Structure 1
């Protein structure tokens, strides 16, 4: 009987074999699904597509003023 570790190394996910992270693969799949939607669902999904996040640098054990960032290149 083969060990579980030996079997799992042979089953590399295709997104990993292609050199992608799971997040990149997931974003590509989500984009494809959104592009296949019909209106009004397509525009609703597009409005939820953007992601905003805040980055705070720390200096001397205290956070500095956070910077709000977005994942969209146009901003």
Structure 2
């Protein structure tokens, strides 16, 4: 039997650890003073590529550049 007493608060709030850590990182970034704030905000952009597979073969990869929500 597992006890609920040792459940982390982020889990008790219904969040995943990734969601919790992203919220914390955004709070820290927003608390920084210039010029450090603009430097770290420029590094938070995410670049990734994905391919849709059809009939066992990948179609042309699509590259995306998303920045986190403001």
Distance in 1 (CA, whole Å) between partners of 2:19 and 2:55 is 34
The structure whose Rg is larger is 1
TM-score between the two structures when normalised by the length of structure 2 = 0.79
Mark the CA change 1:21 to 1:71 in structure 2 (over 3 Å): closer, same or farther.
farther
Distance in 2 (CA, whole Å) between partners of 1:70 and 1:17 is 33
DSSP 3-state at the match of 2:30 = helix
Q: How does 1:1-75 map onto structure 2 within 5 Å?
A: 6=2, 10-72=5-67
TM-score between the two structures when normalised by the length of structure 1 = 0.75
| Structure 1 unaligned blocks of 5 or more | none
User: Segments of 4+ in structure 1 off by > 6 A?
Assistant: none
> How many residues matched?
69
Q: By percentage of residues, which structure has more strand?
A: 2
RCO greater where, 1 or 2, for CA within 8 Å and sep 6 or more?
Answer: 2
| Structure 2 unaligned blocks of 5 or more | none
Q: Please provide the CA RMSD for this pair.
A: 2.1
Distance in 1 (CA, whole Å) between partners of 2:24 and 2:68 is 19
